[in-house]
Amino acid sequence: MKIKDIRELTDEELKARIVDEEQSLLRVRLNHAVSAVERPSDIRDAKKMIARLKTILRERELEAETSKEAES
């Protein structure tokens, strides 16, 4: 999923997607602890996707805060 696609999601969809990605990362880590994972890059990719989602969500929070301050 690209940044452009992520920005089109609503806040609720972003939060749900973060939860899904974190659960996916947990599963991959547990599988990796038990036996070797076919693609170790899946762990890195999942972490990067979580970071992207959280970054967009935080940008929106900061934007909302600055718009509230500007109105005051």
Domain that residue 37 falls in: 3-71
Tell me the residue type at 8: E
pLDDT tens by residue, 10-57: 999 999 999 999 999 999 999 998 988 788 898 999 999 999 999 999
Pairwise pLDDT comparison (12 vs 2), residue with the higher score: 12
pTM score, whole prediction = 0.87
Q: Identity (one letter) of the amino acid at 32?
A: H
Q: What is the CATH number of the domain that holds 61?
A: 1.10.287
Cα separation, 67 vs 61, whole angstroms: 10
21 contacts 53 by C-beta, under 8 angstroms = yes
State the total domains in the chain. 1
